[in-house]
Structure 1
Amino acid sequence: MAPESTSTLVIPLAGFWPYATDAAVQRLDGVAVLDLRASGLAAQALIKVVVKEARRVGAPSVVTLLPERYEPDDVRIAWSESDVPDDVRLGMVCTAVAADQVLDGLANDNPVCSVDPYTHALDDRRIADLIARQIEQADAVIVIGRPEGDEDWESEQLRTLLRRLAPWATVRDELTAEIHRPTPHRTPLMPAIRGLSGHAVGIHEPMAVDGVVSCVFRQKRPFHPARLHTALERITGRVVRSRGHFWLASRPDMVLSWESASVLRIEGAGGWLADLPDSSWNEVHPERRIAATLDWDHYYGDRHHQLAFIGIDLDAEDLDRTLTACLLTDEELADGFDAWRGLPDPFAFHPH
């Protein structure tokens, strides 16, 4: 559907590979393009420039090429926090990927700051983190070119992989008329912790499709910290991407986020609603309150794991057995919360 003539639709285009974003916009006809890839501006300052230029150009649609370090959620957050006039609207947030570089990119553990001089000094993302998030936070993923082997099965495998990485996005070969509509995701997707609000963190399809396996591990009883730490290499060894949230018996008050792409990143992501007094529940987002209420357990409260794993030729049964073996046994469970806090915990991280 074409945008209303009285307003301008801004279509952000993210991407790590400049030749892929170039190729995506070269196919457009009659759409204004604003190239901000060389900008060193922070997100909110960038949005001010985008809005100013969109109003100056006055075109129905303006495709904005984002700096390579940007993630789609950066745009959504900055847009929601900015005073944007009604005649400029946010369109679908898209990501362009180079078909012959995606798999290598998702395994690249070099820091983003090594390729982008404007990256903040405290930004510890790896290139693989950035590429994975650009894909999974997009409303639409634009695939440019073909995989290196140029075989049809490789192209199908790549598209299946992208659909598993971002099941809420569309995967296509070019920017089409469908993008000329307001974004379906006005709030940040935050794929790693979206399960806390009742949204799926991935698709559970343990049977391989084009060689791609996607599975979701859901359990309530906590992980034993030492057993989980010992099993990490086996858990992530054949995984292209994993994400979600979980909890450790030794830290029952903490929600922990889990993200892996080349390396595993575990961080504190707040607390569980089970620890909040009833009077504080109204301060929590309604979606999370509803999700917690629907899945409430009389013993664990809202504590649970929801972890998605996506890989090629991944053994889903072995992965499930490995994760299950990391849970507390019945005997350990009977010891109770106070005893769990004293379990050996080799994890080193701090809550945000």
Structure 2
Amino acid sequence: MPDRPRPLVVVCGVDRDAVLATGEAMAAADPRTVLVAHDLRRLGEGVLTRSVRHRGGWRTDAVELAHGCVSCTLREDLLPLLHHLAVDGEVGRVVVLLDPGMEPESVCEALAHVEPVVTDVLELVGVVAVLDGATWLEDAGSGEALADRGRAVTADDDRTVAEIVVGQAEFADVLVVVGSPDPWERVRRDAVLARLAPQARRLDAAHPALVPDVGPVLAELHPDARRGVPDDPHGPLLRGQPPLSRDVGVSLLHVGLRRPFHPQRLHEAIDVLLTGTIRARGRVWVASRPEHALWVESAGGGLQVGTAGRWLADSLAWDDVDALRRASASLRWDPRWGDREQQLVVLVHDAEPGDVVAALDAALLTDEEIALGEDAWRGFDDPFGTTHTDPCGELAPGAPAENTRGDQA
């Protein structure tokens, strides 16, 4: 095994052929590159297809899994395979081509934390997202379900197209944009990407067959590129230096407020985050559960609410959080509220920024409600349940939803 681990690259995208073309371009530029691809279209049957391109040729095998889920795919097949490739003397670089149903953030988290840990033996040098340049902006603002396009991984996969395409672009170190819409929509798409992934390097290709080798770009990433490391829910919400001015109707709003939301009015105001927006994410303080920081994350027309642990104002566990969070909380500490506050970033492309801010302001507690005190706040009607997904028309109040951040409430 070499002194320095061999490089590992993760490539994602909703167009299977374009993702494959990106991997093939990397393999053509470096013959010692190994490509690994999984096809999850039969995962609901407990079967996946694994293809490996090694020494210039492809080998494809069907793999049976005891449980038809993505986490089992990673734990039982991908992670052991990557460990095997890490010690193969003929391997120079490993490129994992994700199935369109696999999200890069959860995969990279597994590579770093699930046994057998891959990042101990391979160096994750970057994540590449391959975007459909002609349709990406429309997809990113939609509420369409993956199932409606026949792309759901399993029968109970209720994710949206926007959740996938926005998450891929936001998490990437390199964006490969294939194809283009009309000139006006291209300008708007580029304005959104500049704010969603400001540190990502960019390559354009007219067609999947013309995708260039991304290797040289990966070698020159921004020093603070994420390289597969997920964001801390209590870390800075603005990554890099995104443009904050409005351009072609695209705005990045930072909402910071120092009083709690009324749970019912916040629930009613959520619609403003689901229409004419690409992304909303951040920490919110809801009066009915003052000890918990809630994590809100939307993509297009869908939103999820989970918890991100306890506020430090309601916890004695200062030593259990990292130094950056302790320092940040200390700098913003309020004599009455401690570190509790609203911190949201909203990427708007077809909505009026003032309408978003006004709707959120109206959801805050009034002075009269503040005066009632925390014991009274806990009795406010709370429609969010343990976790929450919007739109919620088909869910019973408090019905559980997937929680993608932190602990359960």
- Interval containing the TM-score (normalised by the shorter chain): 0.7 to 0.9
Question: Any conservation in 1 of the 2:258–2:341 contact (CA below 8 Å)?
Answer: yes
Measured in 1, the distance between the counterparts of 2:274 and 2:345 equals 11
Range with bigger deviation, 80-89 or 235-244: 80-89
- Pair 1:248 & 2:283 matched: no
For residue 323 of structure 1, what is the amino acid of its counterpart? L
- Pair 1:71 & 2:103 matched: yes
By how many angstroms is 1:114 displaced?
A: 7.3
Range with bigger deviation, 88-97 or 15-24: 15-24
Give CA deviations for 1:296-331 in whole Å, capped at 9, x if unaligned: 111111111111111224311222122112111222
By how many angstroms is 1:65 displaced?
A: 0.7
Shift in CA distance, 113/79, structure 1 to aligned 2, threshold 3 Å: farther
Measured in 1, the distance between the counterparts of 2:148 and 2:95 equals 26
- Pair 1:43 & 2:42 matched: no
By how many angstroms is 1:176 displaced?
A: 4.5
By how many angstroms is 1:245 displaced?
A: 1.6
Equivalent residue number for residue 382 of structure 2: 345
By how many angstroms is 1:139 displaced?
A: 1.8
For residue 110 of structure 1, what is the amino acid of its counterpart? A
- Pair 1:234 & 2:265 matched: no
By how many angstroms is 1:206 displaced?
A: 5.8
Shift in CA distance, 101/11, structure 1 to aligned 2, threshold 3 Å: same
For residue 329 of structure 2, what is the amino acid of its counterpart? A
SS at match of 2:166: helix
Q: Which of the residues 111, 126, 131 maps onto 1:92?
A: 126
Question: Any conservation in 1 of the 2:195–2:242 contact (CA below 8 Å)?
Answer: no
Question: Any conservation in 1 of the 2:174–2:217 contact (CA below 8 Å)?
Answer: no
Q: For structure 1, which runs of at least 5 residues remain unmatched after alignment?
A: none
Give TM-score, length-normalised by structure 1.
0.84
For residue 229 of structure 2, what is the amino acid of its counterpart? P
Equivalent residue number for residue 34 of structure 1: 35
Question: Any conservation in 2 of the 1:203–1:308 contact (CA below 8 Å)?
Answer: no
Over aligned residues, Cα RMSD in angstroms? Answer: 3.0
Shift in CA distance, 259/267, structure 1 to aligned 2, threshold 3 Å: same
Question: Any conservation in 2 of the 1:43–1:74 contact (CA below 8 Å)?
Answer: no
- Pair 1:179 & 2:218 matched: yes
Equivalent residue number for residue 19 of structure 2: 21
- Pair 1:257 & 2:289 matched: no
Question: Any conservation in 2 of the 1:215–1:310 contact (CA below 8 Å)?
Answer: yes
By how many angstroms is 1:86 displaced?
A: 6.1
For residue 22 of structure 1, what is the amino acid of its counterpart? L
- Pair 1:289 & 2:287 matched: no
Equivalent residue number for residue 305 of structure 2: 266
Give CA deviations for 1:249-287 in whole Å, capped at 9, x if unaligned: 11111211112222121122222111112xx22122333
SS at match of 2:129: strand
Question: Any conservation in 2 of the 1:71–1:137 contact (CA below 8 Å)?
Answer: no
Higher relative contact order (CA 8 A, sep 6+): 1
Shift in CA distance, 187/26, structure 1 to aligned 2, threshold 3 Å: closer
SS at match of 1:13: strand
Query: Could you tell me the percent identity over the aligned residues?
Result: 31
Q: Between Structure 1 and Structure 2, how many residues are aligned?
A: 340
- Pair 1:188 & 2:229 matched: yes
Question: Any conservation in 1 of the 2:233–2:295 contact (CA below 8 Å)?
Answer: no
Q: Which of the residues 129, 139, 144 maps onto 1:109?
A: 144
Question: Any conservation in 1 of the 2:12–2:97 contact (CA below 8 Å)?
Answer: yes
Equivalent residue number for residue 200 of structure 2: 169
Shift in CA distance, 184/203, structure 1 to aligned 2, threshold 3 Å: closer
For residue 377 of structure 2, what is the amino acid of its counterpart? W
